[in-house]
Amino acid sequence: MGQYVIRRLLQIIPVALGSTFLIFAMVFAIGDPLLGRCGDRPCPNAYAIAFTREYHLDQPLVVQYGYYLGKLVQSDLGTSFAGNKVSEELAARFPTTVTLALLAVAFELVVGLLAGVLTGLRRGGFLDSLVLVSTLVVISIPVFVIGVLAQLTFGVELGWFPITATQGTLGQLILPAMVLGSLSVAYVARLARASVAENLRSDYVRTARAKGLSPGRVVGVHTLRNSLIPVLTFVGADLGTLMGGAVVTERIFNIDGVGGYIFRSIAQRDGASVVGSVTIMVIIFLLANLVVDVVYGALDPRIAHD
């Protein structure tokens, strides 16, 4: 297991380098970062020269990326064009975004798994049809529409939740987390339903029933344990997706998280802030997938990590 983890960590290095270089290239290919920094007037020549030297904008793209990597290995994500440390900006906002993403993952696991297991055990019934139709509706609606409808319904009309989450407290983040995880709930429910229904027809399940095991043990130990593997794969990849997708949700609920920070940085053409933020997202995504692969062995001993 230890060799497998080390090998996977080594594999992360070229993936992280390639993805961050693509992000770096796309961000700094948007245009001249000096545009609009001094209002409608052109920036003074002295300011433009100092700004260009500080961020190595007069160097080729590969050289700029080399400077960025040199700082990155020293845990320095760079300095924003406003003069603030990107790492400090992210450190202040990351707890809010991580809490939001984890709440969304918990929501999709509890609701999605419950709906998927129940419908997988009773395919063709009313509950099965209801879940299939409702998940299809959720998949068809954009997240920003779901967010606005949730604000109007649960925040304004019913008054169950705050309509904004400016302070980022746990109570304020519940409704945004439900909105953020709504699409994932639909996918988890459908994936769990298909996986449970398939495993119920497997030979080892029929053998367990023939041995006289109780229905709860057959479903809970033999069926559900193997059915969790594809769901876990999706959730592991979805954690990084949720943190990236929080840009829209944080914008709707006025959350001061990483998503809102990325949105403002893109609007201000602050390349250093965008690259630093997305680099952290990439690393989290890769590590989350590594954790999922390691957990596979606990769910199914047949999966060997050699």
Going along the chain from its start, the domains and CATH numbers come out as: 2-72 (no CATH), 94-269 (1.10.3720.10)
Using one digit for the tens of pLDDT, what is the confidence trace for 42-89? 778 887 787 777 777 778 878 888 888 888 788 777 777 777 788 888
pLDDT band at 304 (very low <50, low <70, confident <90, very high): low
Per-residue model confidence (pLDDT) at position 229:
73
Record the pTM. 0.73
Residue-level pLDDT at 244:
64
pLDDT, position 77: 78
Helix axes 224-252 and 86-121, enclosed angle (nearest 10):
130
pLDDT band at 123 (very low <50, low <70, confident <90, very high): confident
Tell me what the mean pLDDT of segment 155-160 comes to.
Answer: 83
Please write the tens of the pLDDT for every residue from 219-244: 666 677 677 777 777 777 777 667 66
140/137 Cα distance (integer angstroms): 5
Please report the pLDDT score of residue 21 as a whole number: 84
Res 300: pLDDT = 58
pLDDT band, very low/low/confident/very high, at 92 (cuts 50, 70, 90): confident
Residue 233 is predicted with a pLDDT of 74
More confident residue, 99 or 40: 99
State the chain's mean pLDDT as an integer. Answer: 77
Question: How much is the pLDDT for 23?
Answer: 80
pLDDT digits (tens, 9 = 90+) for 289-302: 777 777 666 655 55
pLDDT > 70? residue 194? yes
pLDDT given at position 221: 64
Q: Which two tokens stand for residue 299?
A: 């769910």
Question: Residue 61: what pLDDT?
Answer: 79
Looking at residue 202, its pLDDT comes to 72
